[in-house]
Structure 1
Amino acid sequence: MTEPTQPVRQTAMPQGVGLNWCAYHEALSATTVQVWDGGGHVVRACFSCREAYDLTPASGPASAS
């Protein structure tokens, strides 16, 4: 097996991390998770918005209770 002749390029974002839409600041972010919004719906919010709006991460599918 041959060794690569060029150094491995490091990226700013780890491989396997995708971008998702933050429903709160309405832009793409790599730190989004599903959270409960004020109306009982599950949306995605980034880390900064979760901190700013004190959002609760959704741990499972929304239940109709």
Structure 2
Amino acid sequence: MRYVIEVYRSHDGVCGSVASESCASPRPFHGWLELLSLLEPPQPDGAAQDVPPLREPPGAGRAAP
């Protein structure tokens, strides 16, 4: 996969656009996390269901004395 990333600094942080071989037009982003989410491969439809639910550690619901 090949990406073309344009990054600009703004008063709010970074912004720009990402174009890939599989995307017809560049997708804009605002911030590093949004950029990273555009670079991650898409998840299959059932992938999120394979992850077990998070459990709280023992004693997490107790109040401190």
Q: TM-score, length-normalised on structure 1?
A: 0.29
Higher normalized helix content (fraction of residues): 2
Higher normalized strand content (fraction of residues): 2
State which structure, 1 or 2, has the greater radius of gyration over its C-alpha atoms: 2
